[in-house]
A and B are shown apart, each in its own frame.
Chain A
Amino acid sequence: MTTRWNRREFLQKASAATMAALAAGAPLSNILSSCKAGSSSSADTVILLWMAGGMAHTETFDPKRFTPFEKGMEGNRVLSTFKSMPTVLDGIHFSDGLQSIGGVMDKGTLIRSYVAADMGHILHSRHQYHWHTCYEPPQTVAAPHLGSWIAKELGPKNPVIPAFIDIGQRFTVGEAEELKAFHTAGFLGNEFGPFFIPDPSQGLDSVRPPVGMDAKRFERRNQLYNELINNSPVGEFGSDYQRESLKRSMEQAYALLNSPESKAFDLSTEPKASYDIYNTGKFGLGCLLARRLTEQGARFISVTTEYEPFKGWDTHENGNTRLVEMKKQIDGPIAQLIKDLDKQGMLDRTMVVLASEFSRDMMVEGRPDAKVLEQVAQPDILSDMKFYGMHRHFTDGCSMLMFGGGIKKGFVYGKTADERPCKTIENPIKIDQVHQTIYHALGIPEDTQYEVEKRPFYTTPDGKGKPVMELLS
Chain B
Amino acid sequence: MVALVLEIIDWKNKSDKLKEATKILVWIGAGSALIAVAFGWLLANEGDYGGDDLEIHRWAGMATAALSVLSAYLIGRKHVSAFRSTLFLTVFGVSFAGHYGAMLTHGDDYLTSVLPSSDSKLSPDAQDADFVLTNAGALNDQQLQDLNVEVRTILAHNCYSCHGEAKMKGDLRLDSKEAIMKGGENGVVVVPDHPDKSELIRRISLPKGHKEAMPTKGKRLTEKEVNVLKFWIEKGAKWPDGKEKSIYRVAALEPRMPVIPNASGDIILPVDRFVNVYFQKNQITWKPVVDDRTYIRRVYLDIVGLLPAPERVEAFAADGRPDKRELLAKELLSRNDDYAQHWLSFWNDALRNDYSGTGYITGGRFDITKWLYTALETNKPYNGFVRELISPVKGSEGFIKGIKWRGTINSSQRTEMQAAQNVSQVLLGLNLKCASCHDSFISDWKLEDAYAFANIFADTLLEINRCDKPTGKIAGTRNLFPELGEISINESTEKRLRQLADLLVQPKDGRLYRTVVNRIWAQLLGRGIVEPVDMMDNMPWSQDLLDWLAADFVANGYDMKKLIYTIVTSKTYQLPSTSVKEAEDIMASTYKFTGMVRRRLTAEQFADAISLSFNPIYGDTSIVSKLLPERVNTKLPFARAALVKNDPFLTALGRPNRETVSTSRTSQANLLQALELTNGDKFTQTLKRGAKEWKAKYPTSDSLVTALYRNALGRNPLLKELTTARKILGSKPDEEGIQDLVWALALIPEFQLIY
Which residues of A approach B to under 8 Å, CB–CB? 2, 4-12, 14, 32, 35-36, 118-123, 125-126, 136-142, 162, 171, 175, 177-178, 180-181, 184, 189-191, 193, 195-196, 205-211, 213, 217, 220-221, 224-225, 227-229, 231-235, 237-243, 245-250, 252-254, 256-257, 447, 449, 453-456, 463
Contact = CB atoms under 8 A, between A and B. Distances in A.
A241 B740 contact: no
A254 B678 contact: yes
Given A138-B660, A249-B673, 10 more contacts: A6-B47, A10-B46, A138-B410, A162-B675, A191-B668, A208-B679, A225-B748, A243-B749, A249-B671, A455-B442
Contact of B724 (A7, A121, A228, A246): A228
* 3 shortest interchain CB distances as A-B pairs: A120-B408, A120-B407, A253-B674
A140 B218 contact: no
B728 interface: yes
Contacts of A175: 361
Contacts of B145: none
A316 B583 CA distance: 50
Interface in B653-686: 654, 657, 659-660, 666-675, 677-679, 684
A209 B683 CA distance: 13
A137 B657 contact: no
A40 to B, nearest CB: 15
A189 B218 contact: no
Contact of A221 (B405, B431, B671, B740): B740
Contacts of A139: 413, 660
A140 B598 contact: no
B108 interface: no
B671 A252 contact: yes
Contacts of B585: 241
B405 A126 contact: yes
B218 A463 contact: yes
Given A7-B43, A126-B407, A177-B358, A237 B660 contact: no
A469 B280 CA distance: 61
10 contacts: A162-B672, A181-B657, A196-B648, A206-B675, A231-B720, A242-B749, A250-B747, A253-B677, A254-B678, A453-B535
B660 A210 contact: no
B600 interface: yes
Given A12-B207, A252-B674, A136 B679 contact: no
Contacts of B581: 239, 241
Contacts of B750: 232-235
Interface of B: 39, 42-43, 46-48, 105, 207-209, 217-219, 356-358, 360-361, 403, 405-410, 412-413, 421, 431, 433-434, 436, 441-442, 532, 534-535, 579-583, 585, 598-600, 648, 651-652, 654, 657, 659-660, 666-675, 677-679, 684, 718, 720-721, 724, 727-728, 736, 740-741, 743-745, 747-750, 752-753, 755
B46 A257 contact: no
Contacts of A221: 740, 743-744
Contact of A206 (B657, B669, B679, B724): B679
A15 B405 CA distance: 52
A113 B718 CA distance: 69
Given A227-B724, A252-B671, A454-B442, A237 B749 contact: yes
B600 A454 contact: no
Given A224-B740, A231-B721, A242-B598, A122 B660 contact: no
A122 B406 CA distance: 9
Contacts of A9: 208
A11 B648 CA distance: 47
Contacts of B740: 217, 220-221, 224
Contacts of B357: 177
A249 B670 contact: yes
* Most A Cβ at <10 Å: residue of B652, B724, B741, B744: B744
Contacts of A456: 218
A431 to B, nearest CB: 15
B744 A181 contact: no
A365 to B, nearest CB: 12
Nearest to B49: A7
B670 A245 contact: yes
A142 B660 contact: yes
Nearest to B665: A190
Nearest to B360: A177
A3 to B, nearest CB: 11
A120 B406 CA distance: 8
Contact of A123 (B218, B407, B668, B684): B407
Contacts of A227: 724
B724 to A, nearest CB: 5
Given A209-B679, A249-B671, A447-B218, A138 B409 contact: yes
Given A119-B407, A189-B666, A233-B718, A241 B218 contact: no
B747 A246 contact: yes
A248 B743 CA distance: 17
Contacts of A224: 724, 727-728, 740-741, 744
B387 to A, nearest CB: 25
Contacts of B677: 253
B215 to A, nearest CB: 10
B450 to A, nearest CB: 12
Given A4-B47, A138-B405, A241-B581, A228 B748 contact: yes
B584 to A, nearest CB: 9
A123 B651 CA distance: 26
A196 B648 CA distance: 10
Contact of A231 (B436, B724, B752): B724
Nearest to B583: A241
A35 B408 CA distance: 44
B217 A463 contact: yes
B494 to A, nearest CB: 26
A241 B407 CA distance: 44
Contact of A140 (B433, B442, B749): B433
Nearest to B648: A196
A447 B749 contact: no
Contacts of A119: 407-409
Nearest to B661: A140
B728 A220 contact: yes
A342 to B, nearest CB: 31
A141 B218 CA distance: 20
Given A189-B666, A217-B740, A228-B721, A138 B659 contact: yes
B748 A229 contact: yes
A428 B393 CA distance: 50
A299 to B, nearest CB: 13
B535 A454 contact: yes
B358 to A, nearest CB: 5
Contacts of B405: 126, 137-138
B674 to A, nearest CB: 4
A194 to B, nearest CB: 8
A256 B718 contact: no
Contact of A190 (B403, B652, B721, B736): B652
A35 B728 CA distance: 50
